[in-house]
Chains A and B, each alone.
Chain A
Amino acid sequence: MIKIIVDRKEPDSHSIKNRQDFQKVLKMYEKQIRLFYNPWFYGAVGFSSLLLFLLNYVII
């Protein structure tokens, strides 16, 4: 169910600005990139896919 809130107090611009943290965003991005470029990530994905394939079509 959608929640309707009337006259909700919005944070002011100053407090929103205080929460800006570009370095954190950049670190989150770099972490994501590291994961995708890590061969172990694809190894795990590949191994899981192969296992699923074997379970579905070969073993069962």
Chain B
Amino acid sequence: MSTNALYHQSPVRLQEELSIIEKAKLNPAHFGPLYSRYHESIFRYIFRRVDDIEAAYDITSQVFVKAIGALPKFEYRGVPFSSWLFRIAKSELYQFFRDKQTNRTVSIDSVRVVQVMDELLEDHSDADRAKLLKILPLLREDQLQLIEMRFFEKRSFKEIGEIMDLTENNAKVKTFRALIKLKQLFNKK
């Protein structure tokens, strides 16, 4: 699995980031470097879940507005700053879906579809892959999020746990259960 450089930071970089956070707590104008560092990854997270690109840019801005406002409450307790931002992004996304009464989008790479199919069946055809796309929306929202983050976005269980407010082990167990549910739906349909 490829490592996410923004998530897996060196101790020096982490320290540098924590000092920017402390400065930004006192003066929001110092938040700039954090905005530049995380804007793209937050935008991509939102873009994959929202149909409209302009809405994705707007929600991304709103995430950072909320982050600046909530920054004084941020305390580093081992959970990376990026995961804290993704939690805000998740909450802003669902606020957007509620406000606009719109449905969410799941953006999938066909390569990743094959990888999920490998987890479900030893041999699979194009028809099986098409079937998978039909049954994915039948999963519960939390199960879909786990499958999405683990298989389509290739996040580690630790990071998934931090974003979903679960322990690493719990994220692993819940993802495994989501996969079993997917398998059951696949065999039923």
**Using a CB–CB distance below 8 Å, which chain A residues touch chain B?**
1-8, 10-11, 13, 16-17, 19-22, 24-26, 28-29, 32-33
Contacts and interface: CB of A to CB of B under 8 A. Distances in A.
B107 A5 contact: yes
Contacts of A6: 108-110, 113, 133
Given A1-B137, A19-B57, A25-B35, A32 B104 contact: no
Contact of B106 (A2, A24, A26): A2
Interface string B97-133: 0000001111111100100000000000000000001
A2 B40 contact: no
Contacts of B64: 22, 25
Q: Which of B36, B68, B113 has the most CB of A within 10 A?
A: B68
6 contacts: A2-B103, A2-B137, A5-B51, A5-B107, A8-B48, A10-B47
B40 A3 contact: no
B53 interface: yes
B72 interface: no
Contacts of A17: 39-40
Interface in B56-113: 57, 61-62, 64-65, 68-69, 103-110, 113
Contact of A20 (B36, B62, B113): B36
Nearest to B69: A29
Contacts of B29: 26
A29 B30 CA distance: 13
A20 B39 contact: yes
B13 interface: no
A10 B44 contact: yes
B44 A22 contact: no
Contacts of B105: 2-5
Contacts of A21: 61
Given A4-B108, A26-B31, 16 more contacts: A2-B104, A2-B106, A8-B48, A11-B47, A16-B43, A17-B39, A17-B40, A22-B31, A22-B32, A22-B64, A24-B61, A25-B68, A26-B28, A28-B61, A28-B65, A29-B68
B136 interface: yes
